[in-house]
Structure formats: C-alpha cells, structure tokens
Amino acid sequence: MAYENELHLAQLAVQRATLLTRRVYAAKSKGTLSKSDASPVTIGDFGAQALIIAAIKHAFPSDEVVGEEDADDLRTNEALRSQIWELVQEATLDDAEAEAVLGGPIKDVDGMLTALDAGRSAGGAKGRIWALDPIDGTKGFLRGGQYAVCLALMVDGEVVVGVLGCPNLPVDDKERLDTSIGADQTDAEGKGVLFSAVLGHGATSRPLTRGALAEGTTIKMKPLEDITQATFCESVEAGHSSHGDQAAIAGKLGITKESVRMDSQAKYASIARGAGDLYLRLPISKTYQEKIWDHAAGVVIVGEAGGTVTDAWGKKLDFSIGRTLSGNKGVVAAPKAIHPEVLKVVIEVLSSK
Ligand SMILES: Nc1ncnc2c1ncn2[C@@H]1O[C@H](COP(=O)(O)O)[C@@H](OP(=O)(O)O)[C@H]1O
Ligand SMILES: [Mg+2]
C-alpha cells in the first residue's frame, strides 16, 4: 500500500500523543496539575506537538510540519518548560517496537524545543508537509467532551494520509453519539478510538491502546436513503459556525432530528463511521480563514469512507495555499450520493442572506 510507513508512523505518534493529553486531563481532574499555572490545554498542546514532531523528524527528517504551536512560550517560562518536559519523558508506549518506530523518547529539553519549533512551516503546494493540531477542540478538552489529536500528510498540496486520535469517543459506534463524556475521564484503557485513512486505500478505526496498535476495522459512511432521516453534526461553539444557517438548511432538507453538537474533528470521524450523516460548518465571520490542521485529517477520512467534502460553495478544500484554507469558506461533508442535494440547499440558504 502507498504511504504504509507514513501511516504507521502517524498512527503510533498520534496514539502516544493522545495518551499524553488524556493523562493531562486526568491530572487536571484530580487537581494534581499544579506545577505551572498554565491551562491544561496549553500543557497538552505543547506536549503532544513535541512528541509528534519528534517522531516525524526521526522517521522523515526532511519533511516539513505545519503545527499550531511553537516553542516561544517555553523558552521564557521555566516552570511550564519543566512541567512539559516531565510529561513528554513519561509518555512512552508500552511496546518497544512501536517506540523504536517513533525514535524512542525525546533525548533532552533542547530536542523538545527544536521539535516544537519545527512546526513553523508555511505550508504550500510543493513537497511533503504534515499538518498537525495537537489538541483540536480546545473547548471540548476543557469540558471533558470531544477533542482530537490530528495529523495529516500532504504531498504537493494533496492530503494523502490522515489520522485522528479521539480519546473520548466510544469504541462502539452503536453507543450514544455523545458530547458529555464527563469529568471522570482517566487515562485507563478501554476508551477512545484511533481513525486513519490513506488516499485511495480506505479508512479504518481501531480502539486506542497503550501498546501495539489494535487491529483496524474498515469504516464506511451510513447509506442514507431518506435525507429527512439524517443526523447532522455541528460545532458546539456558536462562534465557530452558524447554528442558525445550519438549522435553516436542515429544515429545508426536511431533517427533523436535533443536531448533534460536538467539538473538534471528532465530527468528521463520527460521520465517517456512520454515527451521524452530515457535517455542516457554515461561516459566521466573513474574514476568518479555516486552518489546514483543523480539517486535513478529517477530510481524507471522510473521503475514504465514501463521503464528499467541499466548502459551502461546492469548492474542493484547497490545502495547497499555506497554513489556512484561504480559498474556501465553510465545510459541507456528506455521503457522496447525497452531497449534491445538500450543497444545493446550502447555496440557497447562503444566497438568500
Ligand atoms: N471564528 C471561527 N470560525 C471557525 N473556526 C474557528 C473560529 N475560531 C476558531 N476556530 C477554530 O475552530 C476549531 C474548533 O472547531 P470546532 O468548533 O469544530 O470544535 C478551533 O480549533 P482548536 O480547538 O484546536 O483551537 C479553531 O482553530
Ligand atoms: Mg483545531
């Protein structure tokens, strides 16, 4: 299979980083996250980004990375730096072979800062560039709801590999599509899902483990014969997409079920495995540019599960321009067969404003 080594590296790197974020959340819940006064999401973000970029640079030294964070804050904040260094050192997988693929633990603090700073790529249309969101769904992470550790590889501007670590999604998609997982979250095994896809080779999901990767299962979007029966997903945050426009679109499509609101790219993952049908993200702000790391992994996973993802005007999301999707507005994700029908209504609603 194409990109087999990249996929394996990405899966293990996301797995290791996701476990770190879960440990941070558990420590926050227990009140033991006291060393610096930084927010738990900042701590998780830095730790996860350092781990993932160190692994990428070990396996593919000349690849670039577009990451959300850099090391500036850590260079000036000693307490935060040492807290994150401690976490990063402890974040090893229970599997020597997996650790060897990742290059083992980061060697020293400088190595951690260098890894963080390697996320400054400007992106673009040429070469191999990874897009990384160490904690997507900041608000979800803080409320004990959905968040995702997101990593994608783009080659010449096209997303070819995508991996999402969703530690608070139920392993069994027959369980509730829920946003309120609760503050009892621990870093124990038995919760969470790792999603992945390679362009042209399908999408899979597997339970999140602490050691070797669990066996993957192919995922497919739900065949939807009657659009009025659809479940649509949207952001929790009203500032990130227009709940009003999305309700108007659902109404025009004859959808009567309430929307499922969840943070992060867990929305892409959920519809890809058929726990939901549509994802609508209609812009609120005229000027906001969506970030590539908020979409790259989710888009290839939905595409490989039988979906189509475009922006709100039907344009393909263009990851080749830089760190943002400056050529696009909004997101419409749906099963291939019904995407045109959904898009028609999206354009009607946007045009009538
Ligand atoms: N005005 C805006 N419109 C759309 N997205 C926005 C936004 N402001 C922030 N975001 C992005 O929305 C992401 C979360 O999306 P969602 O609402 O689907 O959970 C955030 O990622 P982070 O949480 O990683 O910062 C952030 O990048
Ligand atoms: Mg994000």
Which tens digits make up the pLDDT trace of 25-41?
888 887 887 666 788 99
- The contacts of residue 32 (CB under 8 Å, 6+ apart) are none
Q: Report pLDDT for 40.
A: 92
Distance of CA 213 to the CA centre of its chain: 18
The whole-number average pLDDT for the span 84-89 is 95
- Cα 126 to Cα 197: distance, rounded to the nearest angstrom: 21
Tell me, yes or no, if 73 is annotated catalytic.
no
- Cα 61 to Cα 76: distance, rounded to the nearest angstrom: 27
- Three-class DSSP category at 310: strand
State the span(s) of the chain assigned CATH 3.30.540.10: 4-218
Q: Report pLDDT for 186.
A: 52
Q: Report pLDDT for 325.
A: 98
* Nearest by Cα to 154 from 65, 59, 222: 65
182 confidence band (pLDDT: 50, 70, 90): very low
135 confidence band (pLDDT: 50, 70, 90): very high
State the span(s) of the chain assigned CATH 3.40.190.80: 227-351
Q: Report pLDDT for 183.
A: 39
Q: Report pLDDT for 58.
A: 98
* Nearest by Cα to 209 from 90, 94, 49, 45: 94
180 confidence band (pLDDT: 50, 70, 90): very low
The whole-number average pLDDT for the span 216-227 is 94
Structure token digits, residue 224: 């939807």
pLDDT at 184 over 50: no
Ligand 1 contacts CB of residue 99 (under 6 A):
no
Q: How far is CA 265 from CA 115, 258, 328, in A?
A: 24, 19, 18
| Annotated binding residue 187 | no
| Annotated binding residue 184 | no
CA angle 192, 194, 198 (to 5 degrees): 165
Q: Report pLDDT for 179.
A: 44
Name the fold adopted by 4-218.
Fructose-1,6-Bisphosphatase; Chain A, domain 1 (3.30.540)
Q: Report pLDDT for 108.
A: 97
Q: Report pLDDT for 150.
A: 98
pLDDT at 1 over 90: no
Q: Which of 21, 42, 92, 138 is catalytic?
A: 138
- The contacts of residue 197 (CB under 8 Å, 6+ apart) are 161, 162, 203, 204, 300, 301, 303, 304, 305
Ligand 1 contacts CB of residue 64 (under 6 A):
no
* Nearest by Cα to 53 from 121, 123, 132: 132
92 confidence band (pLDDT: 50, 70, 90): very high
* Nearest by Cα to 50 from 140, 122, 110: 110
| Annotated binding residue 84 | no
Q: Report pLDDT for 347.
A: 98
Ligand 1 contacts CB of residue 285 (under 6 A):
yes
6-10, 100-104, 175-179: least confident range: 175-179
DSSP for residue 213? P
Ligand 2 centre from 262 Cα, in Å?
A: 13
| CATH code for the structural domain at 227-351 | 3.40.190.80
The whole-number average pLDDT for the span 2-8 is 97
Ligand 1 contacts CB of residue 234 (under 6 A):
no
Ligand 1 atom with the smallest distance to the CA of 267 is 18
* 46, 66, 146, 240: residue to mutate for ligand 1 pocket, most atoms within 8 A of CB: 240
- The contacts of residue 318 (CB under 8 Å, 6+ apart) are 157, 325, 327, 328
Ligand 1 contacts CB of residue 137 (under 6 A):
yes
Concatenated DSSP letters of 52-69 = HHHHHHHH-TT-EEEES-
Tell me, yes or no, if 245 is annotated catalytic.
no
181 confidence band (pLDDT: 50, 70, 90): very low
Ligand 1 centre from 215 Cα, in Å?
A: 31
Q: Report pLDDT for 99.
A: 97
Q: Report pLDDT for 170.
A: 86
- What's the whole-number average pLDDT of the chain? 93
Give this complex's ipTM. 0.99
Ligand 1 atom with the smallest distance to the CA of 135 is 24
* Nearest by Cα to 350 from 317, 319, 314: 314
* Nearest by Cα to 323 from 62, 49, 66: 66
